[in-house]
Amino acid sequence: MADSRDEPLVLGIETSCDETGVGIVRGTTLLADAVASSVDEHARFGGVVPEVASRAHLEAMVPTIDRALKEAGVSARDLDGVAVTAGPGLAGALLVGVSAAKAYAYALGKPLYGVNHLASHICVDQLEHGALPEPTMALLVSGGHSSLLLSSDITSDVRPMGATIDDAAGEAFDKIARVLNLGFPGGPVIDRYAREGDPDAIAFPRGLTGPRDPAYDFSFSGLKTAVARWIEAKRAAGEEVPVRDVAASFQEAVVDVLTRKAVRACKDEGVDHLMIGGGVAANSRLRALAQERCEAAGIRLRVPRPKLCTDNGAMVAALGAEMVARNRAASSWDLPADSSLPVTEPHVPGTHGHDHVHEVSKENLYS
């Protein structure tokens, strides 16, 4: 390895949605976490516009990489690998990151690691709490995904236990915030309002919690409709909508189901560690209730700090470093951006060998 210390120095690039993230880690130590977000450009549309996101990634890429290298105080030449989110995500947005990663890796003569966005959301916790226990149950909740995953090795084995059958948890927060005219993204603002509201004020439905429902799948679209109807009825009657109580009651319905199912999955599988990741893991009530229920069930809870829960490059670097540490094959130069990369593939080796990287490394095209 290029450095005398034996832990791999890896740069990670994340562009699956609206955040251009570039992170640098050494093994499980975070050195830099630079993020440029285009979220403000999407706000007036109430959701991420793929073409706007792709263009923003293109503009932000080089400056964000430079910023991360500066923050980490390392030279690109010292890297042991370049990791990138190969999927899942927005196709055009992913393509910008994958192309940039290839260009840097090739020019630097470093191995390229195409990794899975969801596995990265899990692996990032190594930067906060050290090596992931094996196995670990992971609850991933964001604007794009809501899944329960069981992993015995984050570089090679991620097993889906359950997932949302309709909306993602974060999507539900965003939609309800929109109905309440609270802006985008909805999660943080609902979290704030909910703190001053009564979570028991309105009994909103808990999706897929009946005795015959799938134990680990989620559904938030019925809840979303119920909340929207409740608000409409209030407005139609000319009554004021109690925003804080609606926010608190809606939030409670979401986090009650998420934590209940996650704890149940741990118990059923005999797993004593639960990690929660993704943007919704920043939710204060989710964190508190998960802590309470895990403690009661004898489960150790691991939740990274909010900045590592939302999309970032450090999580990609963390998984890339783990790939290097475990001697996983590098990706080939024809690594595709795969918008629907299955969660069961933490890493994408590609279809061709990677031998030619060594030829390039002698020349070190990057100056």
Contact between 180 and 191 under an 8 Å Cβ cutoff? The reply is no
Residue 114 in marked binding region: no
Of 98-106, 155-163, 182-190, 287-295, the window that binds ligand KG4 (rule: CB under 6 A) is 182-190
Residue 116 in marked binding region: no
In the complex, what is the shortest distance from the CB of residue 266 to Zn ion, in angstroms, rounded to a whole number? Answer: 22
In the complex, what is the shortest distance from the CB of residue 28 to ligand KG4, in angstroms, rounded to a whole number? Answer: 21
227 binds ligand KG4 (CB under 6 A): no
97 binds ligand KG4 (CB under 6 A): no
As given in the structure block, the two tokens for residue 193 are 């309002």
Contact between 68 and 22 under an 8 Å Cβ cutoff? The reply is yes
17 binds ligand KG4 (CB under 6 A): yes
Q: Which is nearer to ligand KG4, 151 or 283 (CB)?
A: 283
Provide φ and ψ at 150, rounded to 5°: -120, 125
As given in the structure block, the two tokens for residue 51 are 């073409």
- Given candidates 20, 64, 85, 142, which one binds ligand KG4 under the rule CB under 6 A? 142
Between CA 28 and CA 239 the distance in angstroms is: 53
Binding mask 279-298 for ligand KG4 (x = CB under 6 A): xx-xx---------------
Binding mask 116-155 for Zn ion (x = CB under 5 A): --------------------------x-------------
Between CA 157 and CA 63 the distance in angstroms is: 34
114 binds ligand KG4 (CB under 6 A): no
In the complex, what is the shortest distance from the CB of residue 185 to Zn ion, in angstroms, rounded to a whole number? Answer: 12
What one-letter code names the amino acid at 51? E
- Given ligand KG4, Zn ion, none, residue 280, with its beta carbon under 5 to 8 Å by kind, binds ligand KG4
85 binds ligand KG4 (CB under 6 A): no
Binding site for ligand KG4 (CB under 6 A): 17, 142-144, 170, 173-174, 185-188, 191, 278-280, 282-283, 310-311
Binding site for Zn ion (CB under 5 A): 142, 311
- Residue positions in the annotated binding site? 117, 121, 140-144, 174, 187, 191, 283, 311
